A and B are shown apart, each in its own frame.
Chain A
Amino acid sequence: MARLLVGPFNRVEGDLEVSLDIRAGTVKRAQVNATMYRGFEQILQGKLPHDALVYVPRICGICSVSQSVASAKALADLAGITVPDNGLHVTNLMQATENLADHLTHFYLFFMPDFTRPVYASRTWHAEAVRRFAPHTGEQMREAIASRQRWFTLLGTLGGKWPHTQSIDPGGSSRAVEQAERIRLLSKLREFRRFLERHLFATPLEEMAALSSLDALWAWHDAALNVGDFRLFLSCARDLELHQLGAGPGLYLSFGAYSQPGGAHALASGVWRASEQTLVEPDTLAITEDAAHAWLEDAPMPLHPLQGMTLPNADKPGAYTWNKAPRLAGEVVETGAIARQLASGHPLVRDAVAKHGGCVLTRVIARVLELAIVVPMMERWLKALEPGDPYFTACELPDEGVGMGLGEAARGALGHWLVVKNGRIANYQIVAPTSWNFSPRDAGGTPGALEKALEGAPVLPGEKSPVSVQHIVRSFDPCMVCTVH
């Protein structure tokens, strides 16, 4: 058995190392190590509850709005506040802007460049992949950065700046949108739609979103081979059999994205069990975090986040990461766009997962599809804004109590839990999407989702950073700074 230590991984957010045991050209066992600790949960102890809104976005520069929203929701839960409809819509618009930018960034900057590697030089699609996605020179990659820059100007108006927007408050939004601004924002949404419809899909968004089966997707692909960047991905995926790579645990968690007036979500919450094709509501009381293999002080048993603790212990025997192991009723779950689309019942994603499970192919499909689904939603939210109606409800935060804020970052289920005593934060625990996906083994020795997904990955002779491992790792779009916070 050979052992390979792979790192640093780039084109992921933050620092990641993977340790692989390899036999007969195949990964037998993988260990995922998040190699950095910053200590936000310690920093937040004793702070004024509202000050959390300055700290928590700074956990993460790629999904700072998602962190803000989860925190604002936890504070609103603590205080029992209801956000006015305008505030809800603006918050959703900001979070959707960030989530879709993350999907775009992931596809063009983080994921596709691996297909330009010399190892694929003999493939029919390689030259085209290089032309489009080569780091520093790829034409489509550069178009995507330009489009992303324009796209983020939405957040300049809606939230002042990105990242680390501070306009999101438990009472709503500190930025009211004026009538004329609404028109300008709509034209920016259309500009982004045009980019997606011209470059990524080469197809109208509504037509993309309406694809209802894997067969329909492949028929769409075959009808205009490699026209549009998503079709080129599908060509690579079919050739490299990416549907056989990176099988997830088969249990998918979504907390529900984009709260709507009245309490529903635009993208549903739910736990999808692939083997039984069943959907149930997530039981948040069944969430625990296990620190058995983390460089963190252990509790005698895994704790719910309201009781959770995060205290570093760099010398702990048997530990190999700064990430805890979150579990749902003791089970390993996968989270992300794939979970949101399964919970929302999207027929293409349900069909693709039924045929191939959670894998490199289906994760990318779900994420890209979400770009087609959410942009039209944003157009509706923008039109639903009522200038003149309030964006914010004034509120006092109580000196005692608990709060829970759940939401969906681009990478999946994000939860904040806080306890307030004597007007100060007595405990604050964060469970991030990549904490679920990249969790270490728990006390029972059960590997996390990525650790399991890497088992069976092929390793080519001489490879020091196996390309299959890179595809699998990046198919989750990991965010390590969120994971360890």
Chain B
Amino acid sequence: MSKRSSDMFNVLWLQSGGCGGCSMSLLCADTTDFHGQLRDAGINLLWHPSLSLESGDELQDLLARVLDGRVRVDALCIEGALLRGPNGTGRFHVMAGTGVPMIDWVRRLAGVARHVVAVGSCAAWGGITAGASNPTDACGLQYEDDRPGGLLGAEFRSRSGLPVINIAGCPTHPGWVIESLMALAADSLAEQDLDSLARPRFYADHLVHHGCTRNEFYEFKASAEKPSDRGCMMEHMGCKGTQVHADCNTRLWNGEGSCTRGGYACIACTEPGFQEPGHAFDRTPKVAGIPIGLPTDMPKAWFVALASLSKSATPKRVKINATADHLVMTPAVRKTRLR
């Protein structure tokens, strides 16, 4: 299948106040032919910082042609936060070779792009770059943490009529990006496919908790007490998987991974403001011994009652294994036929 380039879905990818990790993650997309996969979906990478030949004046020339309408941008992908400082000048990131702050480039390019896509939590909400006192006055394209606004403003709509699409995550999962771009290229991503924070629902309608390999420990509230323990990390280790929107434990990362499978807590990296949780990342804040961040869609009293009941019924096997780094007690071998 070969399409003329004018029929292709043109993606322009730029980076600002981030680490480049979303691009590096993108290259881990689960395919034997990264470029072939995009091309087959009709996607043309007009320019990407890690993948294109054009450097310096060649890119500047391309950007000029985009701005005067000679080259169409179907998706403007921005990776990294937008750095408004110091004092609104944007000088914390001037696009190399141009003397122009990146925030100005992004404002101009967003005005001509059919879709605008925030790749990763930095571009979506400000992310880790907006940590602590936010020394660079970093924000997302259309959000500042969970407050609408950001660089482009709450009212911004790209030429397609959609708001900025927030493929949040730190980093974002390559599958989330590829599928979002493919859906856009196929004209099959509409406003109702975005959640209330403009994240694509195909991944944001799930919870990290779904598919967690520690679920048996969760059921019995058999908890990990230190890194490398196998137990549930919700009670003591700061895990937010029961509240956080993402399909990390059903889609998996890098073949067979996820944060919880790696032995550390979900820190809510797809959610606005994750960079300043208000407590130690690896410790669950508690009131009177009860964790404060319980699952949001059940009454707290019920949760506490069920937890105390399941704790009292925890099988010895589950209890012992919860605080070990390898299987100490294996499930008993039993006949499972009724006859």
Contacts and interface: CB of A to CB of B under 8 A. Distances in A.
A15 B27 contact: no
Interface in B13-62: 15-25, 27-36, 45, 47-59
B200 to A, nearest CB: 19
Interface string A316-346: 0000000000000000000000000000000
Interface stretch (A23-31, A233-241, A349-357, A384-392): A384-392
A475 interface: no
A10 to B, nearest CB: 5
A117 B255 contact: no
B257 A61 contact: no
B59 A161 contact: no
A173 B228 contact: yes
A284 interface: no
B42 to A, nearest CB: 14
A135 B48 CA distance: 10
B28 A36 contact: no
A10 B20 contact: no
A146 B262 contact: no
Contacts of A33: 96
B254 A153 contact: yes
Given A37-B136, A43-B135, A62 B20 contact: yes
Contacts of A178: 326
B92 A390 contact: no
A198 to B, nearest CB: 15
A104 to B, nearest CB: 11
Interface stretch (B125-133, B182-190, B301-309): B125-133
Contacts of B34: 142, 145-146, 149
A149 B29 contact: yes
B177 interface: no
Interface residues of A, number: 87
Nearest to B25: A163
A174 B83 CA distance: 34
B35 A142 contact: yes
Nearest to B87: A314
A176 B325 contact: yes
B180 interface: no
Interface string A112-123: 011011000000
Main secondary structure of the interface of B (DSSP, over half): loop
Contacts of B16: 36
Given A10-B52, A176-B228, A15 B96 contact: yes
B259 A160 contact: yes
A220 interface: no
Contacts of B57: 6, 464-465
Interface residues of B, number: 82
A391 B255 CA distance: 22
A314 B263 contact: no
A161 B257 contact: yes
A35 B95 contact: yes
A265 interface: no
B283 to A, nearest CB: 9
A259 interface: no
A435 to B, nearest CB: 15
A166 B55 contact: no
Contacts of A64: 19, 21
Nearest to B17: A38
B24 A163 contact: yes
A212 to B, nearest CB: 35
A116 B54 CA distance: 11
Contact of A157 (B22, B83, B257): B257
A58 B20 CA distance: 9
A61 B34 CA distance: 19
A442 interface: no
Interface string B305-321: 00000000000000000
Most buried by A among B28, B48, B58: B28
Interface of B: 15-25, 27-36, 45, 47-59, 83, 86, 89, 91-98, 102, 128-129, 131-133, 135-136, 138, 170-171, 226-228, 248, 252-264, 267, 269, 275, 280-282, 325-326
